[in-house]
Chains A and B, each alone.
Chain A
Amino acid sequence: MNASNAWLQFAIYIGALLLITKPLGLYLVRVLDARGRTWLDPVIGPVERLTYRVCGIDPEQEQGWKGYTVSLLLFSLVGMLFTYAILRLQDRLPLNPQGLAALTPHLAFNTAASFITNTNWQSYGGESTMSYFSQMVALALHNFTSAATGIAIAAALVRGIARHTAKTIGNFWVDVVRVSYYLLAPICLVFALVLVSQGMIQNFRPSTTAKTFEPYTIQVPKTDDKGNAVNGADGKPVMVDQKVDTQTIPQGPMASQIAIKMLGTNGGGYTNANAAHPFENPTPLSNFLQILSIFAIPSALTYYLGRTVNNQRHGWAVWGAMFAMFVAGVLVAWKAEADGNPIHQKLGVAAADGNMEGKEVRFGIFNSALFATITTDASCGAVNAMHDSFTPLGGLVPLFNIETGEVIFGGVGAGLYGMLIFVVLAVFIAGLMVGRTPEYLGKKIESYDVKLVVLVLIVLAGTVLGGTAWASISDWGLAGLNNAGPHGFSEILYAYSSSVGNNGSAFAGLTANEPHWDTTLALAMLIGRFLMIIPIMALAGNLAGKRLVPASVGTFQTEGLTFVLLLIGTVVLVGALTFLPALAIGPIVEHFLMRAGTLF
């Protein structure tokens, strides 16, 4: 692809994102208001009211922050146990034409934690591990509920900011029901059909076995009559040749899962190759729509913020800060991948476009760099290229995006509430600079608010760096690596960053499906989701109860270029100060070693 074509695609993407932000934001205002009217009311209204009746929910009854948070935790706990049970009983449940076995306990635990936290980290290959029942009932269902939960939390925080002298911040059950029924389900219904029109599969057929055009030979471990590996005199497995002349082509209900996978910034692939698989991402249009859907709701939520706090310029300022960081990330990743690998170039084996290792040739350099940046700006984690094969600086971009807390548009809901944490911190820093009590939209930011913000940031940094350190000095941690040196370290750092950030993408050289990795990464996902949400909800409750103070000449304006720059500086500096030492011994040193002629 030539550069002008890539720039044109980038411009179309930005234009389309801008175009949907306001209308979808206005729609969100109605959906996130328990009494809001939408054009879907005649169809969905009766189902919504029936749900409340059956579940015993009083939609008029709002909750304080503690009640809201306890509801959220109980909802997630039930979801986790439900998912664990399905995955452990998969072999006894229907819609399993391949006769796939039940998941091991540690993999079921990891996967349950992964999907209730909106992470979708996958220690397994979807098409060879999950039955259609598991894909639909355990995984796709949680793609909806975890996304709805994230949006509900963002709405609760925005209400906390917008209200004054209030004791409540909304009703968790109403928010989740309305987001699922009025927002996610209708859009996904249409989106799935569009994806089918592009060639994505949606069926219940068993996998297809096809004869390959070119048989080839691989080496596999020799096994005895009982299927056990045979070891030689040196204690290593004896390898034998095996001719491969057939291919198993996956089938199943893919489109229905991929629509919410992208719109809900979940990212868990139906297949192991994720959006690089021709069924899971069949055409350039499907690729464009998938990356547009990742940012659609997070972008619209900034408009919802502006409308709800009655300051649309503030909403656009937050959008502007996110947008500037997004563009910077795309340009760095694109440049790094287009420059390619100097060692390959010296050997004369480099592709003309740049670093094509681990990339789907249909998408090339630009669309791989764009997808990688978007999927890690948001907490999506779907991939159309293997991040592990990016150049060191190209791989640094997704890693750093995750380590900012995924606030560059971010996950559905999670991006906005994460960014609002940085907004409060930025306002606090600005207040310190001029020696005034900081204010945010008419509320004084006091020590308790800042303590809660710091609790959020400590959980992120402590869990990522603590988990990375533990795995880096453990036999089990090192055993999972596919690469030595700084690249191996990057694989570990990426795994914990991705888990705590609830992203789910990976430097896929890491083999993580073993008990230690599965368990520690699952705990990292749970901590990264719920122990960050709790102080955020406390902040929402505290802000809701504050009195408004009138603006004065000393009030720091939370709109305009100065605020945008301060916000970007806060996000980048907190990310840089926290993670730069780790990045220095991972991708940064790997970059310099690559320039000096060493690869890992």
Chain B
Amino acid sequence: LVPNPTLMTDIFFIALSLAFFAVSIAYIYFCDKVR
């Protein structure tokens, strides 16, 4: 996925972390709405 340890790969992994936690917060509302 990421061949070299560059600034771009750092940005990719930081963005991936942020994206995962954003999805998690959205999942809170999904779990609330499935009732």
Q: Which residue numbers of A lie inside 8 Å of B, CB to CB?
A: 66, 69-70, 73-74, 76-77, 80-81, 84, 88, 102, 104-106, 108-109, 112-113, 448, 451-452, 455, 515-516, 519, 523, 526, 530-531, 534-535, 537-538, 542
Contact = CB atoms under 8 A, between A and B. Distances in A.
Contact of A70 (B1, B5, B18, B28): B28
Nearest to A109: B13
B1 A73 contact: no
Contacts of B28: 66, 69-70, 534, 537-538
User: Nearest 9 A-B pairs (CB), nearest first?
Assistant: A448-B35, A105-B9, A109-B13, A538-B31, A77-B21, A515-B1, A104-B5, A530-B24, A535-B31
Nearest to A69: B28
A318 B12 CA distance: 44
A455 B27 CA distance: 11
Nearest to A447: B35
A534 B27 contact: yes
A411 B15 CA distance: 29
A455 B31 contact: yes
5 contacts: A84-B17, A109-B13, A112-B17, A448-B35, A452-B31
Contacts of A523: 20
A212 B25 CA distance: 55
Contacts of B1: 106, 515-516, 519
A84 B14 contact: yes
Nearest to A104: B5
A575 to B, nearest CB: 23
B32 A526 contact: no
A534 B31 contact: yes
A76 B21 contact: yes
Given A69-B28, A77-B17, A104-B5, 5 more contacts: A73-B25, A106-B1, A106-B2, A523-B20, A526-B20
A467 to B, nearest CB: 15
Given A106-B1, A531-B27, A66 B32 contact: yes
A202 B20 CA distance: 37
B27 to A, nearest CB: 5
Contact of A81 (B9, B17, B25): B17
Given A448-B35, A452-B31, A70 B17 contact: no
Contact of B5 (A105, A452, A534): A105
A105 B32 contact: no
A526 B20 CA distance: 8
Contact of B34 (A77, A104, A451): A451
A102 B35 CA distance: 47
Nearest to B3: A515
Contacts of B3: 515
A109 B31 contact: no
A113 B24 CA distance: 14
B10 A105 contact: yes
A108 B13 CA distance: 9
Contacts of B34: 448, 451-452, 455
A77 B24 CA distance: 11
Given A104-B5, A515-B1, A515-B2, A534 B13 contact: no
A545 to B, nearest CB: 11
Nearest to A66: B28
Nearest to B34: A451
Given A448-B35, A515-B3, A109 B17 contact: yes
A101 to B, nearest CB: 10
Contacts of A66: 28, 32
Nearest to A102: B5
A105 B31 contact: no
Given A69-B28, A105-B5, A106-B1, A77 B18 contact: yes
Nearest to B23: A531
Contact of B24 (A81, A106, A451, A534): A534
Contacts of A534: 24, 27-28, 31
A455 B12 CA distance: 29
Contacts of A80: 17
A583 B27 CA distance: 31
A509 B2 CA distance: 23
